[in-house]
């Protein structure tokens, strides 16, 4: 078990702490293991996440609702313009149904050019899915310090482990106001076009077929020079 913990820690470039390692053991390795045991293992191995100290900012005011829920202000405030890459990101989750099965898509968009920087799919819409999406975007872009990342107030985004992840990369959190989907209009519009253009006109046989269609749409969306499809709002 200690060897596996070390392997996960090293694979994350020493970014993960015991909470993230515990989640990975549960989600990816299907282990029924108590978080306290993972904490003790990490303590014995002298493992802790490398989290850079956040600089004080007047722009961020996180209001803690409970010990496990963190709400951020709406710093994006419907300003969907970006003058260069990695200044403003938006993210959200949408659901697809195939028979009795569900597939959740977590996507992250850079408002400079509206490119989908990263996306993950899974059968559960938990914190693990959105954290993997952020991690994929960070690995692709590398320098993400002070990026503004906007989301809604879903439980995945208000979770402490998600907020800890943003803090580790010095990413600034922003959240939509309750009942205001237009606060995250760009990613909402992208999902709408994806479903109407890639999914609804066709017969989807199973989850794997659905995943293939999503992969294909996002690839074409990102690589088509003159987009005749995609977000219809001014982003």
Other Cβ atoms within 10 Å of 156 Cβ, number: 23
My answer on whether 88 and 165 are in the same domain is yes
Asked if residues 137 and 144 have their Cβ atoms less than 8 Å apart, the reply is: yes
Measuring CA to CA, which residue among 199, 231, 225, 222 is closest to residue 212?
199
- What mean pLDDT is predicted for residues 95-113? 94
My answer on whether 40 and 68 are in the same domain is no
Count of domains forming the chain: 2
Within a domain: residue 210?
Answer: yes
Q: Tell me the pLDDT tens digit for each residue of 194-208.
A: 999 888 877 888 999
**pLDDT on residue 120:** 96
Per-residue confidence band for 58, with pLDDT thresholds at 50, 70 and 90: very low
Within a domain: residue 53?
Answer: no
My answer on whether 18 and 86 are in the same domain is no
My answer on whether 175 and 76 are in the same domain is yes
Nearest-angstrom CA–CA distance, 138 and 205:
33
Measuring CA to CA, which residue among 16, 144, 164 is closest to residue 89?
144
Asked if residues 148 and 76 have their Cβ atoms less than 8 Å apart, the reply is: yes
My answer on whether 105 and 181 are in the same domain is yes
Q: Tell me the pLDDT tens digit for each residue of 155-214.
A: 999 998 899 899 989 999 999 998 888 999 999 999 999 999 888 877 888 999 999 999
My answer on whether 206 and 106 are in the same domain is yes
My answer on whether 133 and 82 are in the same domain is yes
**pLDDT on residue 62:** 47
My answer on whether 179 and 80 are in the same domain is yes
Q: Higher pLDDT residue, 113 or 25?
A: 113
Within a domain: residue 231?
Answer: no
The sign of the torsion formed by the CA atoms of 40, 42, 46, 49 equals negative
Q: Residue ranges of the alpha helices (H) in the chain?
A: 2-11, 18-27, 35-44, 127-141, 155-158, 160-168, 185-194, 207-223
- CATH number of the domain bearing residue 184: 3.30.420.10
My answer on whether 157 and 102 are in the same domain is yes
Within a domain: residue 192?
Answer: yes
Query: In terms of residue numbers, what domain contains 18?
Result: 2-44
What is the pLDDT of the chain when averaged over all its residues?
84
My answer on whether 71 and 183 are in the same domain is yes
pTM over 0.85: no
Nearest-angstrom CA–CA distance, 83 and 88:
9
My answer on whether 100 and 128 are in the same domain is yes
Nearest-angstrom CA–CA distance, 153 and 157:
6
């Amino acid at each position: 078990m200690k060897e596996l913990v070390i392997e996960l820690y090293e694979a994350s470039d020493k970014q993960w702490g015991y909470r993230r390692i515990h989640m990975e053991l549960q989600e990816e390795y299907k282990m029924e293991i108590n978080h306290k045991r993972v904490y003790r293992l990490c303590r014995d191995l002298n493992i802790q996440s490398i989290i850079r100290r956040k600089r004080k900012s007047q722009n961020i005011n996180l209001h803690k609702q409970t010990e496990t829920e963190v709400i951020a202000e709406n710093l994006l405030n419907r300003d969907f313009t970006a003058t260069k890459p990695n200044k403003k990101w938006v993210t959200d989750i949408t659901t697809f149904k195939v028979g009795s099965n569900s597939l959740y898509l977590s996507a992250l968009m850079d408002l400079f050019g509206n490119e989908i920087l990263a996306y993950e799919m899974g059968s559960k819409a938990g914190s693990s899915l959105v954290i993997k999406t952020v991690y994929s975007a960070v690995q692709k872009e590398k320098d993400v310090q002070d990026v503004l990342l906007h989301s809604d107030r879903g439980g995945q985004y208000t979770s402490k482990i998600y907020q800890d992840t943003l803090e580790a990369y010095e990413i600034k959190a922003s959240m939509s106001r309750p009942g205001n989907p237009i606060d995250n209009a760009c990613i909402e519009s992208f999902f709408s076009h994806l479903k109407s253009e890639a999914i609804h006109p066709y017969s989807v046989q199973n989850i794997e077929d659905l995943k293939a269609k999503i992969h294909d749409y996002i690839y074409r969306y990102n690589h088509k020079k003159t987009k005749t499809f995609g977000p219809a709002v001014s982003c």
